[in-house]
């Protein structure tokens, strides 16, 4: 009986310790500035020329978005106007979005008044176009 209890205790310890050691609730990390790294997943809408977005910036901000005005043919390549929102539904940002394909990968630019504000690279995944990006000052 003691061996069964000891085995159960060891199993619980080994099951819980990894969870605790990889916790993202570190108070030091809460004080850090968000990284200039973002991620967005674009998925096709039933409406031609429209993409849905799910975005994240620096693990600090995230939400949905919608890109409209793209090409009517299938695929992701084209010029769009995209509007992003926070999780609570408040408006975040809007850009002119340019998606270009290079081989199996994509080059993505977000522009404000013709000036590039962010750049990214992406690839098609099972459910959409996955893009990593960063804001730029050049």
- For the stretch 73-127, pLDDT in tens is 888 999 999 999 999 999 999 999 999 999 999 999 999 999 999 999 999 999 9
Q: What's this model's pTM, rounded to 2 decimal places?
A: 0.75
pLDDT value at residue 120: 98
Which residue, chain included where needed, has tokens 């960063």?
134
What token pair was written down for 121? 């690279």
Nearest CA to 87 out of 65, 66, 64, 67 is that of 64
Q: What pLDDT shows up at residue 104?
A: 95
Q: In the beta sheet, which residues pair with residue 52?
A: 43, 66
Asked if pLDDT for residue 137 goes beyond 50, the answer is: yes
Contact assessment for residue 85 and residue 92, using Cβ atoms and an 8 Å cutoff: yes
pLDDT at 135 over 70: yes
Distance of CA 72 to the CA centre of its chain: 24
Furthest CA-CA distance within the chain: 73
CB atoms within 10 A of CB 9: 10
pLDDT at residue 22 in the model: 36
Burial class (CB in 10 A: 0-12, 13-18, 19+), 90: exposed
Extract the tokens encoding 15.
Answer: 């099951």
């Amino acid at each position: 009986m003691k061996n069964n209890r000891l085995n159960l205790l060891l199993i619980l310890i080994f099951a819980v310790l990894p969870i605790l050691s990889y916790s993202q609730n570190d108070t030091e990390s809460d004080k850090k500035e968000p990284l200039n790294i973002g991620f967005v997943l674009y998925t096709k809408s039933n409406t031609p020329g429209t993409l849905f977005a799910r975005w994240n910036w620096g693990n600090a901000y995230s939400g949905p978005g919608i890109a409209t005005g793209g090409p009517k043919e299938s695929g992701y390549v084209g010029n769009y106007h995209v509007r992003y929102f926070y999780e609570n539904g408040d408006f975040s940002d809007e850009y002119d979005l340019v998606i270009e394909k290079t081989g199996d990968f994509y080059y993505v630019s977000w522009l404000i008044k013709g000036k590039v504000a962010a750049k990214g690279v992406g690839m098609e995944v099972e459910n959409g176009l996955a893009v990593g990006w960063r804001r730029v000052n050049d």
